[in-house]
Amino acid sequence: MERTTVLITGCSSGIGLGLAARLAADTAGRFKGKGVTLCRGVRHRRGSPRQLVPGGGLWLVPAVQLGSTAAPRPCSLPPVYATMRDLAKGDRLLERLGGCCPDTLEVLQLDVTDPCSLAAAAQRVQEQQLDVLVCNAGVGLMGPLETCSDQAMKTVFDVNLFGAVRTIQAFLPAMKRRRAGRIIVSSSIGGLQGLPFNSVYCASKFAVEGLCESLAIVLQPFNIHLTLVECGPVNTSFLANLQHPDPEGSELQGLDAETRDLYHRYLRHCQSLFHDAAQEVEDVLQVFLEAISTPCPPLRCVTTQLFAPLSRLRLASPDSTMYVRAMHDFVFGHGEAGGDQP
């Protein structure tokens, strides 16, 4: 496989961080660059191989272990661009790489909700051919619909849907001119089927699914492959970081007692599901790597079969009545639905 250049959004944690580290450290040389990497906001201190010091500008980081006295080689462009909204969180990525900023990696500031930020990142990357764009930035929102504020709902759509749209718009024209490239979008099981107390999040992911399926049809003659990676529960900080009302807080006080009880039961279900069935990041990364390396990747890749029976039931029931009942029973526990539960 020839040297491949990849840009990934949402690399401050979780899947994005893991994928950037995995590609930058690729031992097969598929993502190898030359020289030094220009890392914005990260500075190394000589004599302290694993100590990373935040900086305010652009710092040349040699492609050797930090603390080395070797002279830097001529600068060239790296094949892995790891982007994140807050560069202060870039230390996590470099620490994952053992305190070394290799010549395969450049950390860029990119906020998918800010057109100016996207334009700056696109201008930086346009100096070389971008082969793979991974739209991974995303946020969650959980809780009874009555508790979701307009601002919280707008934020979810601004990041999950419009953020993906803006990112694709920024890099798609160059791929079209070359008539080559691939776009990988982090989606969710929640983009394929409704999940209780995730109405707004699922709505944003349903929209992403429609966006990508429609776009894939147009991109076919351009030799640009678009793949949705649909994840289930994954052991990341996503669940802990998503916005949701405190089950004992004031936000729920105006709700009816039955909805409050269902929400409490759903939270217990989530804890159990993540404890017993969540995938590790490394398992999910393998799906992304296959989407990057496969000559003709599919439109959809599901990372887990946990919800497969419910997915089949949703497709088999024309009016989705059986699915709604089965999902309710699966989450809230009122016995099996048709004997076909995950």
Query: What residues are annotated to the active site?
Result: 201
| Side-by-side strand order, sheet with 105-109 | 105-109, 80-84, 6-8, 132-135, 181-188, 224-231, 300-302
Please say whether the beta carbons of 95 and 52 come within 8 A: yes
What are φ and ψ of residue 133, in 5° steps? -110, 125
Count other C-beta atoms under 10 Å from residue 172's C-beta: 18
193 touches 314 (CB < 8 A): yes
One-letter amino acid for residue 141 of the chain:
L
HSE on the CB side for 306, CA within 13 Å? Answer: 19
Distance CA 136, CA 134 (A): 6
User: Judging by beta carbons within 10 Å of its beta carbon (0-12, 13-18, 19+), is residue 153 exposed, middle or buried?
Assistant: middle
Residues 6+ apart with CB under 8 A from 215: 168, 226
